[in-house]
Every structure is written in structure tokens, then in C-alpha cells.
Amino acid sequence: MLVFPVSPDGDVLRVHCRPVPLADGTAAAIVFVDGEVDAETTPVLQEALLNAVDGYPTVYCDLNRVVFFGAAGANSVAAAGRRAATVGHRLELCGAHGLTRQVLAIAGLDRLLTVSE
């Protein structure tokens, strides 16, 4: 698990990746995100997503426990989505709700990636 408690106002972001076997014999990864995704904490999210899309053909990013999601988070997700497409893999976002869902929509990521609640 990666933990990023560095921001001056005490924001904490916890991110961990878990492989999940699929029925077809391959594996996917679930990247669990918990906390605030802002300019201070985004590097840990981006690192986790890029590592996951490099290593797994399908990556699910669970945003259910995100309490704040800013534009920097959208940029990290976009970068990971581009990397996934470049290597022929897939990134899907799940658990997106409230502000997180709104930021993803404003950034147009809901048209580029599968986004679900």
C-alpha cells in the first residue's frame, strides 16, 4: 500500500493494488483509492495506475472511498488511460460519485473510459 500524508493541510491518500484472477485464466488489477486526490497527493495515484496498466490487461480503479477529487486527479487518470490504450490494455473507473464523478465528466473522461458508480 502506498500512503501519501504529505500535504500541509493534512490530506492523506491511501492507494493499494490487488490482483484478481479472471475466469479466462488471466488476471486483472483493482487499484483501491482512499482519501483526498489533489495536487499534493496525485503523484501516488498516478504511480499506482501507471504500474497497474503496465502490468495487467484490465485495471479497475475503485474510487468509492475518495472524499475529494480535483483536476490533478483527472490528469492522472487521463495519463493512465492513455498509457493503457498505448499498450493495448484497459482502464475502468468504478465507485465514482459526487464531486469525483463531476470532475471526471467535466474533464471528458466519462466519454473516454468506462466510469460507473
- pLDDT tens per residue across all 117 residues of the chain: 554 555 556 667 899 999 999 999 999 999 999 999 999 889 989 999 999 999 999 999 999 999 999 999 999 999 999 999 999 999 999 999 999 999 999 999 999 999 988
Q: What is the pLDDT of residue 13?
A: 85
pTM of the model: 0.89
Domains of the chain: 2-89+100-115 (3.30.750.24)
Q: What is the pLDDT of residue 7?
A: 54
Q: What is the pLDDT of residue 63?
A: 97
The three-state DSSP-derived secondary structure of the chain is: CEEECCCCCCCCEEEEEEEEECCCCCEEEEEEEEEEECCCCHHHHHHHHHHHHHHCCEEEEEEEEEEEECHHHHHHHHHHHHHHHHCCCEEEEECCCHHHHHHHHHCCHHHHCEECC
